[in-house]
């Protein structure tokens, strides 16, 4: 057997992990780029671009209007879309005054809290303690580091709550086709978010150059990460996927440093590390090691 033939299985095994890492990097880069548009259209305008263009792209891709839904399903989709829209808006509002990596770390507290809601093991309480300690170091308290803006932290915490609601809502419509339900949910989200963008930025949103940049934000923050994660989810065990995804706040902090020159203090880096460790630990202690995802759409990213 040739050396090339021997290397092929190794490359095939690495591909899904490379895809997942690429998705996280693309998302962090896209969000960092989105923040550079704040001076032109504001956080509300950028959120409108991301959610609005993502909704259009998903509708064109899945064409969900061809399928009938029950009244209960429509209510579920509406709840799912509302959680998605408010989450995206609050997250971008938080980025006005706090660094990307910090905002992501705080937002991760939503699904982390949900996963530890029925904590029983000692390891679960250790994860809770790590997350609480990390949050304490990030809160606007004078503990050796410059305090964060309380309003920005508040928006990030609101995004965390919405992420938890997003997960709950997603489970309620889990019997529906993933792509179509996301397309409909994102349309509901657009109906909520776009008016805020219009009220804030007005006619500036119609600038062709800015619209093109907004489309780039939507593609890099939604379409590309979602596509790459679909590749990864088919081949990576569920627990491994979750642990790798827990590194997103750290990747976001690096993207903020490189793209936006957002320099964090050692205390803030330590806080992010605590929350990342708590998230990864929660997954490692609650998910069977050999569980493989049968439905890749069950772990869709918020705003995907």
Choose among 118, 131, 114, 106: nearest CA to 166: 114
Sorted by sequence, the CB contacts under 8 Å of residue 229 that are 6+ apart come out as 19, 20, 23, 296, 299, 300, 301, 304
- Under a CB-based contact definition with an 8 Å cutoff, are residues 237 and 7 in contact? no
Beta strands in the chain, from DSSP E residues, in sequence order: none
Choose among 244, 252, 193: nearest CA to 33: 252
Question: Of how many residues is the chain composed?
Answer: 304
Kindly tell me if the per-residue pLDDT of 289 is higher than 70. Answer: no
Is the C-alpha dihedral spanning 71, 174, 249, 48 positive or negative?
A: negative
pLDDT at residue number 146? 67
pLDDT tens-digit map of 37-70: 999 999 999 999 999 999 999 899 888 888 888 9
pLDDT tens-digit map of 4-48: 554 566 677 788 888 889 989 999 999 999 999 999 999 999 999
Q: Give the least confident one: 80-94, 103-117, 138-152, 281-295.
A: 281-295
- Could you tell me the pLDDT band of residue 294, with boundaries at 50, 70 and 90? very low
pLDDT tens-digit map of 183-232: 899 999 999 999 999 999 999 999 999 999 999 999 998 878 877 877 78
How is residue 180 written in tokens?
């179509």
Report pTM: 0.87
- Under a CB-based contact definition with an 8 Å cutoff, are residues 239 and 284 in contact? yes
Percent of the chain with pLDDT over 70: 88
68 φ, ψ to 5°? -85, 145
Q: Tell me, what DSSP letter sits at residue 222? A: I
pLDDT at residue number 175? 86
3-state secondary structure (DSSP) of residue 219: helix
Choose among 272, 256, 205: nearest CA to 95: 256
């Amino acid at each position: 057997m040739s050396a090339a033939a021997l290397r092929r299985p190794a490359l095939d095994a690495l591909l899904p992990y490379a895809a997942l890492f690429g998705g996280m990097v693309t998302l962090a880069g896209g969000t960092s780029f989105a923040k550079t548009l704040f001076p032109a259209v504001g956080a509300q305008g950028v959120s409108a671009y991301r959610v609005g263009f993502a909704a259009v792209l998903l509708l064109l891709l899945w064409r969900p209007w061809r399928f009938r839904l029950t009244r209960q399903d429509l209510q579920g989709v509406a709840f799912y879309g509302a959680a998605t829209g408010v989450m995206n808006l609050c997250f971008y509002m938080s980025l006005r005054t706090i660094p990307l990596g910090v905002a992501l770390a705080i937002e991760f507290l939503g699904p982390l809290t949900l996963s530890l809601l029925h904590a029983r093991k000692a390891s679960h309480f250790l994860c809770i303690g790590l997350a609480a300690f990390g949050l304490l170091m990030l809160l606007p308290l004078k503990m050796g580091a410059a305090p964060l803006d309380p309003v920005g932290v508040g928006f990030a915490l609101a995004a965390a709550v919405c992420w938890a609601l997003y997960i709950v809502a997603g489970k309620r419509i889990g019997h529906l086709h993933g792509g179509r339900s996301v397309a409909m949910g994102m349309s509901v989200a657009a109906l909520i978010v776009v008016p805020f963008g219009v009220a804030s930025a007005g006619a500036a949103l119609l600038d062709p150059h800015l619209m093109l940049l907004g489309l780039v934000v939507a593609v890099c923050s939604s379409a590309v990460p979602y596509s790459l994660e679909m590749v990864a989810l088919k081949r990576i065990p569920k627990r491994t996927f979750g642990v790798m995804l827990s590194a997103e706040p750290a990747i976001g902090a690096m993207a903020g440093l490189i793209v936006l020159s957002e320099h964090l203090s050692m205390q803030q880096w330590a806080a992010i590390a605590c929350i990342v460790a708590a998230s990864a630990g929660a997954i490692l202690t609650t998910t069977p090691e050999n569980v493989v995802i049968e439905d890749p759409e069950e772990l869709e990213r918020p705003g995907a």
